[in-house]
Amino acid sequence: MQHLSLQQRLLQKLSPQQIQVIKLLELPMLQLEQRIKKELEENPVLELEEHGEGTNEDDFANELKSAEDVNNEEFSVDDYLNEEDYPSYRYETNNYSKDEKISEIPFSESNSFHEYLQEQISMVMLNEEDAILAEQIIGNIDEDGYLRRELEAIVDDVAFSRNIFTTEKKLGTILSIIQELDPAGVGARDLRESLLIQLSRKEMQRPELRLAYRILEEMFEEFTRKHYDKIQRKFNAEEDDLRDALDEILKLNPKPGSSFSNNLNRGNQTIIPDFILEIVDDEMILSLNQRNVPELNISNYYTNMLKSFRDNGRGMTNDQKDALLFVKQKIDSAKWFIDAIKQRQETLMLVMNSMLQFQKEFFVEGDETKLKPMILKDIADRTNLDISTISRVSNSKFIQTHFGIYSLKYFFSESMQKEDGEEVSTREIKSILKECIGNENKQKPVTDDELANILKDKGYNIARRTVAKYREQLDIPVARMRKEL
């Protein structure tokens, strides 16, 4: 049996304006520029702040101004008011004639890695079926140059997709042909096979290359574990000969496909600082990097138009009412966007100024040991903002100082208490660990236990497992893997 009941609940919902501010707060400088440009193109009510005579706008602002002028020329609410009932095809963007041709400016770009392999295999005298099998194998080679898929699975693939029934043995024969292509080591199924292929291309008359080949072929696991004493006993090799052989192996490329990388296809990250810090007369002067962020305002043309519509409100037709609603929505949207930009700037400056005061010694001197332990909550308490807001501000943001450009996340670290009760940043401890490992004897690397004892002598009472955690965060391998001859 169904019953009706009333239930009262308190829910927190974000308004569209709040959501817009949050999204803008997360954007770094480069993406903010693109976001403003997009808003200017979509909203004809928005326009750039007029500059005084003799002031040159930068290229970005000129580009936005040009786009805005085009919008104003092409769009007018008068046209919107005088519309007639046109057929729908007049508004379709894909309504092109046969003679109309849309061309794009091509970019100069070299062949991809797989296209390079395909070009090479096309020069090998293969029959039609073998060429298809070779194409299938090349298609399964990853960007590093390895064939990660089993030949048995490729047999099933060509049977279903190409209706070609083959065997693993035949695919293995074709794979051996592919492994002769450039770059050396391509088509291998694991690291050991790739290194062996690369070594086989060299002059094997040299004794160090022959020893290197035997090491990879017979004692690859000992090589990866750096058990050099076992390798030396196995081959009865002198230490100098073993060192030469290992040097030859280390010269090989563990990712042969990366040697054919096309830098044009890679998205290179451009770092544009969001803040600029200057020291003038021993005082810190912080400013937002507004180089490519123009001042925005609302066009008087549309505000006057809205006012005239309202003055003649009683005699308006339905079309005119629709136009009034359209203009009002665009003006409201523009106001929200301008307010969101201003609120973003105020929040960024508030948070960054608080961080400057917290880490004042570091920003003045640039000495990493001067960094204090600081977490998101410390800045949240100082600014009376939520921790999530501090996290959004520090994410993907950078500050330019007189000693370099730093990510804001760099300044946040946990604290550790010394024996004398003083709290220090974990970044200071990591710096000491890095220095100790950098100065160690590579033939007898310092173990985690020894590193813990060194830190205890310096007043940092840290357990071995904590040392191991910090070492891993620094991307430093264990002592055994750091061993060298």
Q: Where are the domains of the chain?
A: 113-260, 275-407, 415-482
Spatial CA neighbour of 36 closest among 367, 253, 294:
294
> Which pLDDT score, from 0 to 100, does residue 197 have?
92
> Which pLDDT score, from 0 to 100, does residue 2 have?
73
CA 69 to chain centre: 35
> Which pLDDT score, from 0 to 100, does residue 193 have?
92
Mean pLDDT (10-residue bins), the chain, 485 residues: 75 67 79 84 79 47 48 47 43 44 47 85 89 91 90 90 89 92 90 92 87 91 87 88 88 83 50 86 84 76 76 68 80 86 89 90 81 86 89 87 86 71 72 84 84 83 84 83 74
Which residues 6+ apart lie within 8 Å of 166 measured at CB?
A: 129, 133, 155, 158, 159
> Which pLDDT score, from 0 to 100, does residue 274 have?
86
What token pair was written down for 315?
Answer: 């005699």
Which one of 1.10.1660.10, 3.20.20.70, 1.10.10.60, 3.30.300.10 gives the CATH number of domain 415-482? Answer: 1.10.10.60
What token pair was written down for 274?
Answer: 């969001």
Class of residue 133 by CB neighbours under 10 A (exposed 0-12, middle 13-18, buried 19+): buried
3-state helix, strand, coil in the chain (%, to 5): 55, 10, 35
Q: How far apart are CA 364 and CA 366, in angstroms?
A: 6
E-state strands within 15-71: 46-48
Contact assessment for residue 351 and residue 383, using Cβ atoms and an 8 Å cutoff: yes
Contact assessment for residue 183 and residue 257, using Cβ atoms and an 8 Å cutoff: yes
What token pair was written down for 437?
Answer: 């490992």
Cis omega (within 30 of 0) for bond into 183: yes
Per the listing, tokens 């730093």 go with: 406
**Angle CA 334–31–351, to nearest 5:** 85
> Which pLDDT score, from 0 to 100, does residue 141 have?
92
Spatial CA neighbour of 470 closest among 419, 414, 406:
414
Contact assessment for residue 376 and residue 412, using Cβ atoms and an 8 Å cutoff: yes
> Which pLDDT score, from 0 to 100, does residue 191 have?
92
**Angle CA 160–165–171, to nearest 5:** 105
pLDDT tens figures, 101-113: 444 444 445 568 8
